């Protein structure tokens, strides 16, 4: 029997397409790739992913530990701010610890002898279609901006991280920004061992100039004699999963509204945060127009308006595409709605329901 809706359905074959692109870029450029767990932490497919990636990068203690235990390759630990207790707990798990500020570096470096340490730098150039996600926005707390202070502290670190992109599919923009970074920070980079260029580069998008991208990375690494790291999240899991839902009711209020058994706020939060429309495959000439809405009590719990080929009815399955990144890591118990199960279609075609969420999970998340 098929799983009970709603559920996230991950296709390993589609995931493999992206992973093969990662491997190709790595072989052409010499760059290493560490999966950004803040985007995707579904460890039931890590056995496939770790054959193509070099490790994981985290934004917290728990993600660091997850990468160490479930991916078991290189582990990079970053946080906007570590507590003293977290630094002590991270020590057994992290290969590289990257600080967000000079003050945090100075606070903790003495307690980390022999460790690979890094600093995040805000190069004050970026690419993002959303101000909310722009790491170089005005008053950004993300990374060091003072180059003089950075130079004075360079002897304490082994590498730098520049995370300056968000869903950037424009190679020329990436290339010109990387040139700016090389010009502004070259004097520091030439004395380091590695550099991370962060994530947010949409190199798995169809038509992206893979060879040019790889050549750019290789030239940058060669110029400064550095190991280059990339921290992809969305690029690795793009178009590899769906949120499978079912119509529960059709409501009429000037237009037809199909209420499904999922919710933007609870199950695809980024749609609500960034005010974007869910990706649902419908024919261009569909005659039957419906607003697709979630079943939470939030008035704005809306996936979008679409034209379907046939009338919708109770029980109709609706598949929401591109549902891997920033979904399962952000799902929550709003309204006490059941969390979608996590289902994987393996490379051999078998369907594996790897996680179901029950009332007891809801109960234990509270007190």
Question: Taking residues 317-335, what's their average pLDDT?
Answer: 98
Domain assignment of residue 263, yes or no: yes
Return the CA Rg of the chain.
22
Kindly state whether residues 229 and 253 are assigned to the same domain: no
Residue 291, SS3 per DSSP: strand
| Neighbour tally for 326: CB within 10 Å | 19
Q: In angstroms, rounded to a whole number, what is the distance separating the alpha carbons of residues 324 and 22?
A: 17
Domain with 29, as residue range(s), is 12-237
| Neighbour tally for 206: CB within 10 Å | 6
Q: What is the CATH number of the domain that holds 95?
A: 3.20.20.10
Per-residue confidence (pLDDT) for residue 285, from 0 to 100: 78
- The encoded tokens of residue 153 equal 């502290």
Kindly state whether residues 30 and 54 are assigned to the same domain: yes
Per-residue confidence (pLDDT) for residue 39, from 0 to 100: 98
Question: Taking residues 346-354, what's their average pLDDT?
Answer: 97
Per-residue confidence (pLDDT) for residue 281, from 0 to 100: 83
pLDDT at 293 exceeding the cut of 90 = yes
Q: What is the pLDDT of residues 8-63, one digit of tens each?
A: 999 999 999 999 999 999 999 999 999 999 999 999 999 999 999 999 999 999 99
Q: What is the pLDDT of residues 119-150, one digit of tens each?
A: 999 999 999 999 999 999 999 999 999 999 99
pLDDT band at 249 (very low <50, low <70, confident <90, very high): very high
Domain assignment of residue 20, yes or no: yes
Please, are residues 35 and 70 in contact by the beta-carbon 8 Å criterion?
Answer: no
Per-residue confidence (pLDDT) for residue 324, from 0 to 100: 98
Question: Taking residues 163-187, what's their average pLDDT?
Answer: 96
pLDDT at 1 exceeding the cut of 80 = no
Question: Taking residues 199-226, what's their average pLDDT?
Answer: 98
Per-residue confidence (pLDDT) for residue 317, from 0 to 100: 96
Per-residue confidence (pLDDT) for residue 114, from 0 to 100: 85
Domain count, the chain: 2
Kindly state whether residues 221 and 321 are assigned to the same domain: no
Largest CA distance in the chain: 67
Domain end call among 182, 209, 237 = 237
Q: pLDDT over 90 for what percent of the chain?
A: 97
Domain assignment of residue 289, yes or no: yes
Kindly state whether residues 170 and 227 are assigned to the same domain: yes
Q: What is the CATH number of the domain that holds 327?
A: 2.40.37.10
pLDDT at 284 exceeding the cut of 90 = no
Spatial CA neighbour of 54 closest among 237, 195, 230: 230
Domain end call among 237, 264, 279 = 237
- The encoded tokens of residue 145 equal 């901006």
What is the pLDDT of the chain when averaged over all its residues? 96
């Amino acid at each position: 029997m098929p799983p009970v809706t709603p559920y996230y359905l991950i296709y390993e074959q589609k995931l493999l397409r992206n992973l093969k692109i990662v491997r190709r870029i790595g072989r052409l450029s010499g760059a290493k790739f560490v999966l950004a767990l803040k985007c995707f932490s579904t460890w039931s497919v890590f056995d496939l992913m770790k054959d193509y990636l070099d490790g994981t990068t985290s934004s917290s203690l728990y993600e660091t530990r997850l990468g160490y235990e479930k991916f078991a390759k290189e582990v990079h630990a970053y946080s906007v701010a570590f507590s003293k207790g977290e630094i002590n707990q991270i020590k057994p798990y992290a290969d590289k610890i990257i600080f967000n500020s000079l003050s945090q570096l100075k606070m903790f470096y003495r307690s980390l002898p022999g460790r690979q340490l890094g600093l995040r730098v805000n190069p004050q150039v970026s690419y993002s279609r959303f101000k909310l996600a722009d790491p170089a926005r005005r008053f950004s707390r993300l990374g060091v901006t003072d180059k003089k202070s950075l130079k004075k502290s360079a002897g304490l670190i082994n590498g730098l991280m520049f995370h300056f992109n968000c869903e950037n599919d424009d190679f020329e923009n990436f290339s010109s920004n990387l040139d700016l970074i090389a010009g502004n920070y070259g004097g520091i980079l030439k004395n380091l061992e590695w550099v991370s260029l962060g994530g947010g580069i949409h190199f798995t998008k169809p038509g992206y100039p893979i060879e040019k991208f790889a050549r750019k990375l290789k030239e940058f690494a060669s110029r400064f004699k550095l190991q280059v790291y990339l921290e992809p999240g969305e690029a690795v899991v793009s178009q590899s999963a769906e949120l499978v839902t079912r119509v529960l009711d059709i409501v009429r209020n000037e237009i037809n509204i199909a209420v499904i058994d999922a919710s933007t706020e609870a199950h695809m939060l980024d749609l609500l945060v960034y005010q974007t429309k869910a990706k649902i495959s419908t024919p261009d000439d569909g005659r039957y127009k419906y607003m697709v809405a979630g079943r939470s009590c939030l008035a704005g719990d809306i996936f979008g308006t679409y034209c379907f080929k046939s009338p919708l009815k109770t029980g109709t399955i609706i598949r929401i595409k591109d549902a891997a990144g920033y979904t399962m890591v952000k799902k929550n118990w709003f309204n006490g709605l059941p969390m979608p199960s996590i289902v994987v279609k393996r490379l051999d075609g078998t369907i594996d329901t790897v996680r179901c969420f029950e009332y007891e999970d809801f109960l234990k998340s509270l007190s």
